Amino acid sequence: PAESLLYPYGPAQRDQKNPKLDDGTSRKVSLTVPFTFYSKEYRSLYVNNNGVISFDTRVSQYTPDPFPLADGRPFVAPFWADVNNVKGGDVFYRQTTEPALLERITEDINRYFPTIPFRATWAFVATWDHVAYYGTESQKGNTFQAALTTNTERSFIILNYWDIQWTTGVASGGDAETGLGGTPAHAGFNSGDDKNFYNIPGSQTDAIINITTTSNVNVPGRWVFQVDEFKVIGVPTEAPKMADANCWL
């Protein structure tokens, strides 16, 4: 059911919350276990308001670039765009070994990667909850989530898209009233080595607003990747199509 797409988040889960700051970020988060991303171990990360989880360095950039990035920043972009949580919404995060959540994540990974033995021993969940865009003159908000998980040998990232109402901030050429146009949001992964990267279909096009209906694991709004040695499964052969404008405006 749709209600189960997002993993639990918010104050009841003892999540940390990012400051209300345009182009802001979390403090440096020291991980209790190393997370392997594209064959490299990382022991800290940042949750950036603009829809990015980054390793080694903060990301304040608000207009997205396609991957691979020339400057080699390694990061995950659930929905890289110009978020302004001062205008609305919250950015939550936590790392956890809570058994019920780990069991749910384990079941999901086992379903999508049945040939890979995996039992989650740690997870990091970051959630952008009804976040507004820079320059907004509307009540639109986006809700999406990234979950990083590992058993110390294999690493996976689950991206959940619950409600996407806008694609672009005003400083990226978007319309203040619709949050559309300009340079739309980007979703994917950048290893930092110039060779390994992945752009989710529809990124930086108007069709990214329909990411709640696309998937590589046959669950609308969910994209799942093995990232210790990056592998893409079940990728659609076509980019998402734009719906009739009346369906999403």
- Each residue of 195-205: pLDDT tens digit? 889 999 999 99
How confident is the prediction for the chain on average, in pLDDT? 92
**pLDDT value of residue 235:** 62
How far lies 130's CA from each of 5, 113, 163, in Å?
Answer: 15, 30, 8
Return d(Cα 202, Cα 211) in angstroms, integer. 8
CA 193, CA 110: separation in Å to the nearest integer?
A: 29
What pLDDT, on a 0 to 100 scale, did the predictor assign at position 71? 87
Contact by Cβ (8 Å): 182, 148: no
Tens-place pLDDT, residues 31-54: 999 999 999 999 999 999 999 999
Please state the rounded mean pLDDT for residues 7-32. Answer: 97
pLDDT at res. 246:
36
For the cut 70, the answer to whether the pLDDT of residue 247 exceeds it is no
- Asked whether the predicted pLDDT for residue 209 surpasses 60, the reply is yes
pLDDT bracket for residue 173 (50, 70, 90): very high
Would you give the end-to-end CA distance of the chain in angstroms? 25
pLDDT digits (tens, 9 = 90+) for 79-118: 999 999 999 999 999 999 999 999 999 999 999 999 999 9
For the residues 143-147, what does the mean pLDDT come to? 98
What distance in Å separates the CA atoms of residue 16 and residue 187, rounded to the nearest whole number? 23
Nearest to 156 by CA among 116, 185, 196: 116
- Of the pLDDT bands very low, low, confident and very high (cuts 50, 70, 90), residue 193 is confident
CA dist., res. 70 & res. 51, Å (int): 19
pLDDT of residue 230: 77
Give me the residues paired with residue 149 across strands. Answer: 123, 156
Q: Is residue 124 over pLDDT 90? A: yes
Residue 59 binned pLDDT confidence (cut-offs 50, 70, 90): very high
Of 4 and 111, the structure prediction assigns the larger pLDDT to 111
Mean pLDDT of 69-80: 93
